[in-house]
Chains A and B, each alone.
Chain A
Amino acid sequence: MRYRTETIRSGGALGWLVQRFTGGLLVVLVLTHFFIVHFGSGGDLSYETVARRLSSPLWTTLERILLATALWHGGYGFWLVVQDYVKSFSLRMILLLVLWTVGLGAFVLGWLALISLGRGQI
Chain B
Amino acid sequence: MAIKHYRFHVGTWAWVFHRISGLALVLYLPLHVWVTHHIARGADQFNRVMEAMSTPMFKVFEVALLAAVLYHAFNGVRVILIDLDWLATARAQRIAFWVAGAICLPILAYAGYAFLSMHAV
B: residues with CB less than 8 A from A are 11-12, 15, 19, 22-23, 25-26, 29-30, 33-34, 36-37, 39-40, 42-43, 46-47, 50, 66, 69-70, 73-74, 76-77, 79-80, 82-83, 111, 114-115, 118, 121
- Contact in complex: B115, A38 (CB < 8 Å): yes
For the complex with contacts A23-B76, A26-B73, A71-B29, 12 further pairs of A-B residues with Cβ separation under 8 Å are A3-B82, A24-B77, A30-B73, A31-B70, A43-B118, A47-B39, A54-B39, A74-B26, A74-B29, A81-B19, A81-B23, A117-B39
List the 4 closest pairs (A to B, CB-CB), nearest first: A113-B40, A74-B26, A113-B37, A106-B30
A-side residues, CB < 8 A to B, are 1-4, 20, 23-24, 26-27, 30-31, 34-35, 38-39, 43, 45-47, 50-51, 54, 67, 70-71, 74-75, 77-78, 81, 102-103, 105-106, 109-110, 112-114, 116-117, 121-122
Instruction: Contact check, B36 vs A113: say whether CB atoms are below 8 A apart.
Output: yes
Residue of B nearest to A7 (CB): B83
Cα-based distance from A27 to B74 in the complex (angstroms): 8
User: In the complex, A77 Cα to B70 Cα: how many Å?
Assistant: 17
- A31 engages B69 (CB within 8 Å): yes
Q: Identify the closest chain A residue to B6 (Cβ).
A: A2
Determine how close the nearest CB of chain A comes to the CB of B107; give it in whole angstroms. Answer: 8
Tell me which residues across on chain B come within 8 A of A122, comparing CB atoms.
Answer: 40, 42-43
Complex CA gap A8/B42 in Å reads 47
